[in-house]
Amino acid sequence: MRHLKSYFAAILLASACTASAQEALRSAYFLEGYNYRHELNPAFAPERNYVSFPILGNFGVGLNSNVGLSTFVYPINGELATFMHPDVSANEFLGKLRNVNHIKEELDLTILSFGFRGFGGYNTFSLGVRETASFSLPKDLFTFMKLGQDGPTSHYNFKNIGVNANAMAEVALGHSRQILPQLRVGAKLKFLVGVADFNARISNMDVTLGDEKWSVRADGEVNIAAGNGLKVPTYAESGKHYDNPDDANLIDWDNLDYDSFGLGGFGAAIDLGATYQLHPDLEISASVLDLGFVSWNNAVHGKTGTTSWEFDGFDKVAIDKNSPNYDTNNFDQQLENLGNDLEDAVEFHRLSDGGSRTTGIGATITLGAAYTAPFYRGLKGGVLFTQRINGVHSWTEGRISANVTPVKFFDASINYAISTFGSSFGWIINIHPKGFNLFLGSDFQIFKVTPQYIPVGNINANLQLGINFTFGSKPKKEVLKPLLPSW
């Protein structure tokens, strides 16, 4: 059991310290001078034609989680210790957790992007790389890790433990146009080249710890794809020792190999968006992003075993060091074997190798409304709702913002969000005179850290910057007749 707990703890701490580049800033959704609004809604058109500085056109680092590093690491006697330390009380640790704990990191790196007016509207092109990794971990899992057997019998049930990671390259072509004085629509077609995909999920796991018997029953599956260079051997193929013939097709993670690069699959997706001017002072908008799929080749599929693992005590423990079976039957060795056997309770049997598998890439819905202050046209209030739909890795966010454009070449936003990952403060400064664009901003800001510089509360932080070159003139804005009564 010590090994199983350590395994989960290692995953947790590693993921809680991960950082990555992020998608377009939602803090800039209502800033007309921000060149990458079309990534949030393809109906949006930048003010001018533009071309990005390679790689630095839209780049940043960040991480989202509804738990913090301070949830898992504690100062003990002047040093840092994990939540498994005996001096960290169970009540203190478990009181910081949610029923479902999410950790998400994303990379949406724009290598090159440009946009121009033509063909009756505005056109965009982008070449980029996207990578996502997310973890969904129920609170009961941590209760088991911290408390173990608490009393004569302890029963734990974990549902929807999920780990998902994938990487792919993307080429996107977008077009938006005004089809009515009040209505603008846009669409973006994305061609996807899959690099790697890993998805593991334990849909249900029962653990019973008693004085007379321990038992574990897990129901889960794993899917892996990374091109023809990926080798996922079984115990039998790698020559690893196993006692039960049913274990011959267990996946041997220790001998996983990747000997040559190969494309993992191909796919496509579409973004759709629209904006509607209800009133000269009020605009509403909506978009659906990443409606698509990737078909993975050389895919490996595995499932957990159909029988439960049971342990009813140690067998003939050798106490005397002179005993002929001491090396294999002493208490420490039997405890080690117990840990290894318990890990096997959540091992995966490889059921297929070299097949194909089609997956969705997770869709995002955005709904926005912006109101321009009649007493000062440079001030705009905004409300943005975002819903990510991706199974157990889904999340929701609501964001309110105040956006200001004091002069034509400068705009900024401050905003506040409440989401699956907690609350956050966002901001952006955007400088965009003719010929040049520089922006710096964040959707998530950390304000409080411990003396050891560990963030207090949830880890929600990012910082994003971009350098782009603009050309051409701004289009003249048409004065619209209000569809709603003036107020």
Domain extent for 133:
2-227+262-308+345-471
Looking at residue 454, its pLDDT comes to 59
Long-range contacts of 476-483 (CB under 8 A, 24+ apart): 478/181, 479/280, 480/181, 480/182, 480/277, 480/280, 481/181, 482/278, 482/279, 482/280, 483/182, 483/277, 483/278, 483/279
Looking at residue 313, its pLDDT comes to 40
H or E segment at 236? helix 235-238
E runs forming strands in 347-434:
348-360, 363-372, 379-389, 395-407, 410-419, 422-431
**Other beta carbons within 10 Å of 223:** 19
Looking at residue 152, its pLDDT comes to 80
Nearest CA among 396, 408, 446 for reference residue 426: 446
Tokens representing 403? 């956006």
151-160 pLDDT, tens digit per residue, is 788 888 888 8
CB 401 within 8 A of CB 413: yes
Write the DSSP string, 254-314.
GG-EE-S----EEEEEEEEEEEEEEETTEEEEEEEEEEEEEEEEEEEEEEE-SS-EEE---
Tokens representing 384? 């943005």
CB 71 within 8 A of CB 84: no
Rounded Cα distance, 64 and 59, in Å: 16
Looking at residue 388, its pLDDT comes to 94
CB 186 within 8 A of CB 270: no
Is residue 43 included in any domain, yes or no?
yes
DSSP alpha helix (H) spans, 17-147: 69-72, 90-94, 139-147
Looking at residue 14, its pLDDT comes to 42
What are phi and psi for residue 59, nearest 5 degrees? Answer: -135, 145
CATH code of residue 83: 2.40.160
Is residue 370 included in any domain, yes or no?
yes
CB 176 within 8 A of CB 119: no
Is residue 329 included in any domain, yes or no?
no
Nearest CA among 69, 54, 53, 64 for reference residue 26: 64
Is residue 207 included in any domain, yes or no?
yes
H or E segment at 62? strand 59-65
Rounded Cα distance, 300 and 230, in Å: 9
**CA-based angle 272:368:105, to the nearest 5?**
75
Is residue 153 included in any domain, yes or no?
yes
Looking at residue 9, its pLDDT comes to 45
Supply the DSSP symbol for 37. Answer: G
In the predicted model, residues of the chain with pLDDT beneath 70 are 1-23, 211-212, 306-345, 449-457, 477-487
Rounded Cα distance, 245 and 251, in Å: 14
pTM: 0.80
CB 52 within 8 A of CB 38: no
Looking at residue 144, its pLDDT comes to 80
* Alpha carbon separation from 396 to 19, 66, 341 (Å, rounded): 21, 12, 39
Write the DSSP string, 337-358.
HHHHHHHHTT-EEEEEEEEEEE
Is residue 483 included in any domain, yes or no?
no
Looking at residue 340, its pLDDT comes to 53
Is residue 66 included in any domain, yes or no?
yes
Is residue 70 included in any domain, yes or no?
yes
Write the DSSP string, 117-139.
EETTEEEEEEEEEEEEEEEEEEH
Looking at residue 76, its pLDDT comes to 83
> Count of domains in the chain?
1
CB 250 within 8 A of CB 242: yes
Ramachandran bin of 33, using left for φ above 0, alpha for ψ from -120 to 50, beta for the remaining angles: alpha
Looking at residue 6, its pLDDT comes to 43
Contacts of 87 (CB under 8 A, 6+ apart): 74, 76, 81
Supply the DSSP symbol for 95. Answer: T
